[in-house]
C-alpha cells in the first residue's frame, strides 16, 4: 500500500516536468459515470492517480512499439490496465485517516480495489498503440477524470478482455490485537462496468480496539490480509493470479490458486475533546502597597480526555477606581470578537484594562503547556495608585473547548491598594517581654530591591523572636537594599552560639529580667488632688490622681509647668494634642513635662502629637476610634502620631494606618513615632533626689555602631 502510494507520487512528480506545448485541447462532449469529485472521493490519491497511471500506460506502449512489438502486444504488455488495493474508511475510498471520538471502540473500514482502463481500451476503437499523448482518450491533469465507456469486450486491438476481479479472504489480523470482522471466505469481487473506465470494488468490515478504554490516542492500525486472487476474461475464463493452474471455465475455484498476502494501514485520529478552565492567583492576599511587586500565576485545568487545540491566551490587569465595582467580577464567556481588554474587562471611567502577557499554546490533559508559548509566573509592579484602588488580574483563553470558539475568562483575583503601617522609635531602645513582629514592604526602585519597615534607632531586646523590625536604624531613610535578618539586626540582641550571622539565623530570644520601672512611686498619689478630666493648658503644676475614666482633651504646656497624673487604676482617653512650649528656655526648670500613669491609655485617631510620658500597666492603644481587634481601613486613624516621651505598657496596640506612601521618599513613612528626646532626661535629672548627678542603673556592652 505504502509502496504503491509512493510510486504514484513519484510518477506525478515526473508528469509535472512534462511539457507538451499544447495550450488547450477541445474534446467532444460526453457524460460518463464519474466526475472529478467522484474520483477524488473514491480513488486513493484522487484524480492525480489516474493521470499517473495513464501516463505510465502510454509510455509503456510507446516503448513497446519502439521495440518492434505489434499494437495488441504493446497494449497487453503494460499498456492496458492499472490498479491497486488499499484500505480506507467505510464508504470513503480516498479517506485513509479517520477522525473518531475519544474512546471509540469500533471503526468501520473497507478493503478497496480498482481496475483502471488505460487510454488504449476506451472508445473509439482503431487507434491501436500509436497515438500521441495529447490524444483525447488519455487522462491529463487538465481534464481529469476524463471518464469514458470501455470499448467492446473481446480480442481486438483496443478491446478490453478483462471482465472480473476476485479476491477470497483466507485470514486477516491486526498487529495490535484488535478484532476484525474480515473473516475467511469473504470475497472482494468487482467487474466490468460498461459506462466507466474506473471499475471499483469494496469489501466492508470493522475493526474493534483491544483496549477496554477504546481508542484514546492517534495511532496507525496495521492490518494483514492473506487470500487468493483470481481474474476472469471474456469467454468466462478464470485465471489464478498466484500459483498458475491454467484457465478454468467459470468455476472460481479459489483453492486451486496460491495465496498472496498484503499489509494495509489506516490512520486513526482522535477528535479533540477537551474543556479548559482558566484561573489566576497571586502571591499576595487581600492587600498590596503602591510600588510593591506582585507575582501573578495563571493556571489552566483541562477536564477533557484529549490535549487542546492551539489556544490563544491573555493575562490581564484591571485597575478599578476606589469604591467602584469590578467589571465581570465572576468571569464568564464572551464571543471571539470581544477580547479581554477590548471590552470585556474595560469599563471606563471606573476600570482600565491592560495586557500583562499573551501567547498561543497547546495544553495537555493536565493543563500544562504541551507546545507553543510557555505559561509562567509574571511579576507586576503595582503602580502609584490611590489607597482603596483595586488591582485585579484575570486569565482568559480562546477557544476553551473543542465545541466552542468563545473566550472564557477567569474570575478576576483582586488586591486592594493599602498600607503596611510602620513604626519608628527614636532616641532609645525597644524592650519586649514577648516577641517583636512587624510587617515589611519590598519594592523595586530603579531596578534594585529595597525593603521598608519599622525600625528602632538603637537596640531591640526581646524575650521571643524578632521578625521584621530593624535595629540600629537599618531601615532609616530610603529603605535598605538587599535586606536580610543580619544587616537589619546589628543592634538586636540574641543568644547566639556563633560570632557570625547567616540570613537564616533567628534573632531575639534574649532573656532579660527587665520590667516596667516604678515611675509612680516617684510621684505619690496619696493626698494628691483629683483630676477629673479636661484640658491641661490651665492646669497647675503638680501631681494629680483619679479613677474610673478620665478624658483629656489636650493642652499646651507652657514653660516651667509640669503635670503628673498618677491614676494606675483609671482609663485615660486622650482626644486632643498635648504639646510642650517650643520657645526659648533659660534653665532646665523651664522644661515643660507631662507624665500620665494609668491602667489603660487610649489615644483618639485625630490626635497627631502627644508630648508626654505614657505609662500603662494594661494597654496603650493609638487608635481608640474602634475597639482593639476590629478591622481597620485607610479611612480609620489615618493620621500619623508622634509621641515625644518614654512609653511603657503591658500591651502596645499600634493601630494607626498612616504613612507607607509611594516611592522611595515615602515608602518608609511611619504611622507611629515614639521619640525619647533629651528633654525627658534633663527634666528627670532635675527631679532626682541628688540634682548634681545622674546615676547609672546598669550597663551593657554594645557592638560598635558604624
H/E/C letters for each residue in 41-66?
A: HHCCCCHHHHHHHHHHHHHHHHHHHH
HSE toward the beta carbon, residue 281, CA cutoff 13 A: 4
CB of 616 within 8 A of CB of 648? Answer: yes
Query: What's the CATH superfamily of 276-417?
Result: Immunoglobulins (2.60.40.10)
CA–CA dist 508, 24 (Å, integer)? 98
Reported as a single tens digit per residue, the pLDDT across 508-545 is: 888 776 677 889 888 998 989 999 999 999 999 999 99
Reported as a single tens digit per residue, the pLDDT across 336-395 is: 999 999 889 986 677 899 999 999 999 999 999 999 999 999 999 888 788 889 999 999
Q: Please identify which residue in the block is written with the cell numbers 525600625.
A: 455
Reported as a single tens digit per residue, the pLDDT across 490-499 is: 888 887 767 7
How many residues comprise the chain?
A: 706
CA–CA dist 109, 92 (Å, integer)? 9
pLDDT of residue 4: 32
Instruction: DSSP letter for 342, please.
Output: I
pTM higher than 0.75, yes or no? no
> Which part of the chain is CATH 2.60.40.10?
276-417
Cβ neighbours around 375 below 10 Å, total: 20
CA–CA dist 697, 48 (Å, integer)? 107
Kindly state the average pLDDT of the residues 270-291: 91
CB of 637 within 8 A of CB of 622? Answer: yes
Estimate the share of the chain in helix, then strand, then coil, as percent rounded to the nearest 5: 10, 40, 50
pLDDT of residue 597: 96
Return the SS3 of 686: helix
pLDDT of residue 250: 58
Q: Please identify which residue in the block is written with the cell numbers 483629683.
A: 530
Reported as a single tens digit per residue, the pLDDT across 31-70 is: 468 999 999 999 999 999 999 999 999 999 999 999 999 9
Reported as a single tens digit per residue, the pLDDT across 201-220 is: 999 999 999 999 999 989 99
Q: Please identify which residue in the block is written with the cell numbers 470482522.
A: 181
CA–CA dist 123, 30 (Å, integer)? 11
Cα distances from 55 to residues 58, 80, 118, 409, in angstroms, run 5, 12, 9, 58
CA–CA dist 248, 244 (Å, integer)? 11
What confidence category does residue 434 fall into, taking pLDDT thresholds of 50, 70 and 90? confident
Strand (E) positions, 630-685?
Answer: 641-644, 647-653, 672-675
Enter the C-alpha cell of residue 704. 560598635
Q: Which of 288, 87, 367, 65 lies closest to 202 in space, CA to CA?
A: 87
Pick the residue with more confidence: 595 or 503?
Answer: 595
pLDDT of residue 663: 74
Cα distances from 681 to residues 225, 458, 637, in angstroms, run 107, 17, 30
Amino acid at each position: 500500500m505504502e509502496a504503491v502510494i509512493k510510486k504514484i507520487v513519484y510518477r506525478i512528480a515526473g508528469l509535472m516536468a512534462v511539457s507538451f506545448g499544447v495550450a488547450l485541447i477541445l474534446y467532444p462532449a460526453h457524460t460518463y459515470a464519474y466526475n472529478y469529485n467522484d474520483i477524488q472521493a473514491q480513488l486513493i490519491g484522487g484524480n492525480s492517480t489516474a493521470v499517473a497511471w495513464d501516463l505510465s500506460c502510454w509510455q509503456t506502449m510507446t516503448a513497446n512499439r519502439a521495440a518492434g512489438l505489434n499494437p495488441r502486444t504493446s497494449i497487453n504488455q503494460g499498456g492496458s490496465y492499472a490498479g491497486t488495493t488499499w484500505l480506507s474508511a467505510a464508504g470513503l475510498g480516498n479517506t485513509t485517516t479517520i477522525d473518531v471520538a475519544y474512546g471509540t471502540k469500533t471503526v468501520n473500514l473497507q478493503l478497496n480495489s480498482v481496475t483502471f482502463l488505460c487510454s488504449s481500451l476506451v472508445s473509439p476503437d482503431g487507434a491501436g498503440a500509436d497515438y500521441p499523448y495529447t490524444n483525447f482518450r488519455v487522462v491529463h491533469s487538465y481534464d481529469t477524470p476524463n471518464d469514458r465507456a470501455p470499448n467492446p469486450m473481446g480480442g481486438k486491438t483496443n478491446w478490453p478482455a478483462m471482465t472480473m476481479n476476485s479476491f477470497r479472504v483466507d485470514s486477516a489480523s491486526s498487529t495490535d490485537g484488535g478484532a476484525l470482522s474480515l473473516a475467511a471466505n469473504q470475497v472482494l469481487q468487482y467487474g466490468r462496468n460498461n459506462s466507466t473506465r474506473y471499475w471499483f470494488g469494496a469489501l466492508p468490515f470493522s475493526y474493534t480496539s483491544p483496549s477496554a478504554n477504546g481508542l484514546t490516542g492517534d495511532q496507525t492500525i496495521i492490518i494483514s490480509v492473506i487470500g487468493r486472487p483470481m481474474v476472469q476474461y471474456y469467454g468466462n475464463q478464470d485465471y489464478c493470479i498466484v500459483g498458475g493452474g491454467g484457465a478454468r471455465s467459470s468455476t472460481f475455484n479459489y483453492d486451486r490458486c496460491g495465496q498472496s498476502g498484503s499489509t494495509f494501514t489506516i490512520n486513526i485520529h482522535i477528535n479533540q475533546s477537551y474543556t479548559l478552565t482558566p484561573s489566576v492567583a497571586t502571591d499576595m492576599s487581600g492587600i498590596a502597597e503602591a510600588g510593591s511587586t506582585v507575582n501573578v500565576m495563571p493556571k489552566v485545568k483541562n477536564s477533557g480526555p484529549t490535549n487542546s487545540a492551539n489556544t490563544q491566551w491573555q493575562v490581564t490587569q484591571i485597575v478599578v477606581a476606589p469604591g467602584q465595582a469590578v467589571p465581570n467580577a465572576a468571569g464568564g464567556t464572551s464571543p471571539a470578537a470581544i477580547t479581554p481588554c477590548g471590552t470585556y474587562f474595560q469599563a471606563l471611567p471606573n476600570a482600565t484594562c491592560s495586557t500583562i502577557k499573551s501567547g498561543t499554546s497547546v495544553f495537555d490533559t493536565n493543563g500544562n503547556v504541551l507546545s507553543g508559548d510557555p505559561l509562567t509566573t509574571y511579576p507586576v509592579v503595582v503602580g502609584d495608585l490611590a489607597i482603596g484602588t483595586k488591582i485585579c488580574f484575570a486569565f482568559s483563553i480562546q477557544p476553551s473547548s473543542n465545541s466552542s470558539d468563545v473566550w472564557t475568562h477567569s474570575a478576576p483575583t483582586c488586591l486592594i491598594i493599602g498600607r503596611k503601617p510602620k513604626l519608628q522609635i527614636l532616641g532609645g531602645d525597644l524592650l519586649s517581654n514577648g516577641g517583636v513582629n512587624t510587617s515589611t514592604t519590598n519594592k523595586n526602585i530603579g531596578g534594585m530591591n529595597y525593603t521598608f519597615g519599622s525600625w528602632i534607632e538603637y537596640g531591640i531586646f526581646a524575650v521571643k523572636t524578632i521578625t521584621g523590625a530593624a535595629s540600629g536604624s537599618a531601615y532609616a531613610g530610603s529603605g535598605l537594599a538587599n535586606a536580610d535578618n543580619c544587616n537589619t539586626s546589628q543592634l538586636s540582641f540574641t543568644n547566639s552560639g556563633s560570632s557570625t550571622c547567616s540570613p537564616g539565623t533567628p534573632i531575639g530570644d534574649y532573656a532579660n529580667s527587665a520590667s516596667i520601672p516604678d515611675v509612680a512611686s516617684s510621684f505619690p498619689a496619696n493626698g494628691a488632688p483629683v483630676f477629673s478630666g479636661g484640658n491641661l493648658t490651665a492646669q497647675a503644676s503638680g501631681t494629680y490622681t483619679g479613677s474610673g475614666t478620665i478624658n483629656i482633651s489636650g493642652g499646651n504646656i507652657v514653660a516651667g509647668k509640669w503635670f503628673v497624673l498618677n491614676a494606675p487604676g483609671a482609663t485615660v482617653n486622650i482626644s486632643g494634642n498635648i504639646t510642650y512650649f517650643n520657645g526659648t528656655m533659660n534653665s532646665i526648670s523651664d522644661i515643660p513635662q507631662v507624665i500620665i500613669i494609668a491602667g489603660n491609655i487610649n489615644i483618639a485617631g485625630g490626635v497627631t502629637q502627644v508630648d508626654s510620658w505614657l505609662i500603662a500597666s494594661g494597654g496603650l492603644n493609638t487608635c481608640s476610634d474602634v475597639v482593639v481587634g476590629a478591622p481597620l481601613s485607610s479611612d480609620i486613624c489615618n493620621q500619623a502620631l508622634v509621641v515625644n516621651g518614654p512609653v511603657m505598657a503591658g500591651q502596645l496596640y499600634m493601630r494607626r494606618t498612616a504613612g507607607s506612601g509611594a516611592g522611595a521618599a515615602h515608602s518608609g513613612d511611619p504611622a507611629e513615632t515614639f521619640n525619647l528626646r533629651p528633654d525627658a532626661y534633663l527634666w528627670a535629672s532635675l527631679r532626682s533626689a541628688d540634682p548634681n548627678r545622674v546615676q547609672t542603673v546598669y550597663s551593657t556592652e554594645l557592638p560598635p555602631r558604624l
